[in-house]
Amino acid sequence: MTIQDERLGAARIGIVDDETANVRVLERFLGLAGFRATHSWTDPEAALADLATERVDLLLLDLIMPRVDGYAFMERLRTSESEAGRTPVIVLTADATPAARLRALGLGASDFLTKPFDPTEVSLRIRNLLIGHFLEIDLLAEKASLETQVRARTAALRESFDNVRRLFEQREQLFQRLVTAQEEERRRVAADIHDDTIQTMAALGIRLELARRQAGSDELGRQLDLAIEAVHLATRSLRDLLFELHPVVLDRDGLEAALRAETGRSALGGDEDAPVVDLEVSLDAEPEEQTRVTVYRIAQEALRNARRHSGATHIRLVARSDQGGIRLIVADDGRGIDPEARHRQAPGHLGLSSMRERAEIAGGTWTVMSEPGVGTTVEAWIPLRFERPTIPPELLMDIGVVRTSVADFVDAVPAAEDRDVPVADDRAASDQETFW
């Protein structure tokens, strides 16, 4: 005996018929067919009371009964059942009119058999309905299990998203603190240079000027002139360093003004060999401090590399709003970079790696494109704000799997009158009876 046969044999089958003789015949017939768990009622009211607390797997229901007929019975039965847990009902009656059939099926009857009927056909229909009923029960159980798993996975996924979101928030806070700490340190160093070193150099220049006026020989005068010039050059370099360390114009006038001041520094310095710098700025709005500083520092480093190492005659700097961030491009027509040198940082030179690190820490991107003899293009994209992960809308509500209802299941199974049920021709008198 298979597991399915064992399950069918243990199926709970109810019989509701006001005729005791019909009940006894059905009980005997079901026993011979292998159905071991039957419960019978000749009183429809008692049957409804019992079925309200103890379900059966299938119900054989007589349609014509006094006081509570089969129609009223099904109406009251269905009101006490949930949509997903309806009991299959086979209606047994001698009323074979279309109106009776339609009314019974409309009230939720699963199948409809008229008297007199063939017991073998009834056996097969009971078996088919029970198989479908148990399959539906299994589907509902599987559905409930899947829903439980989906809820558990959804909760775990929500927790993961919360963790990732917290990490992004921490990353944003660390980025802001890092930029603030770097700029504060630059301000401190710049203040020290301005208040100490430059003042010392200025005092030294004055003393050298005084000594020059009192020089007793031409040779000493020439040496003092060279010393005075060296002091002036050193002082100018320190002032340039002050601007690099802390460009006041960046905080006071914004990114575009700071970039214009940076690109104009070589022209102000009077260096005839300095490359020409073309600046194109197109910003929708002034970015926040951390973004502004990051873009400016990358542009500053790229310009410094191009001026000092590329041998370029022309540099193009572009800063524009693009896709929720700022796109920065610094392109020169210099000698280019050896491909191997891009991945091999020269001692003391941190330009490429520092630009990349600044962009990535800010949540942006950085690339360098170069070929020997063609020039170099540095491109970076810095977001205006950190892109935090967003939880998909479906995770913000209870996730439900595909609903499996009785109606869905019944729609997938052919109607009773459309199914071909085999009927045995060899009828044994012991288990084949016709009753009313």
> What are the start and end residues of each CATH 3.40.50.2300 domain in the chain?
3-117
Pairing of strands 58-62, 12-16: parallel
pLDDT category at 322 given cuts 50, 70, 90 is: very high
Number of other residues whose CB lies within 10 A of the CB of residue 38: 19
The listed range with the strongest mean pLDDT (101-105, 237-241, 324-328) is 324-328
Whether pTM > 0.95 for this model: the answer is: no
pLDDT category at 394 given cuts 50, 70, 90 is: low
The closest of 258, 278, 274, 254 to 266, measured between CA atoms, is 274
Contacts 24+ apart (CB under 8 A), 19-23: 19/62, 21/435, 22/62, 22/435, 22/436
Contact predicate 269/289, CB 8 Å: no
Q: What number does CATH give the domain 3-117?
A: 3.40.50.2300
Residue 329's pLDDT is what? Answer: 96
> What are the start and end residues of each CATH 3.30.565.10 domain in the chain?
255-384
Q: What is the mean pLDDT of residues 329-351?
A: 70
Higher pLDDT pick, 300 / 373: 300
Average pLDDT, the chain: 80
pLDDT in tens, 185-244: 877 887 888 888 888 888 888 988 888 888 778 888 888 889 888 988 888 888 877 777
Residue 436 predicted with pLDDT over 50: no
Contact predicate 296/250, CB 8 Å: yes
Contact predicate 104/75, CB 8 Å: no
Strand, coil or helix: what is 345? coil
Q: What number does CATH give the domain 255-384?
A: 3.30.565.10
Q: What is the mean pLDDT of residues 76-90?
A: 82
The two structure tokens encoding residue 179: 């930029």
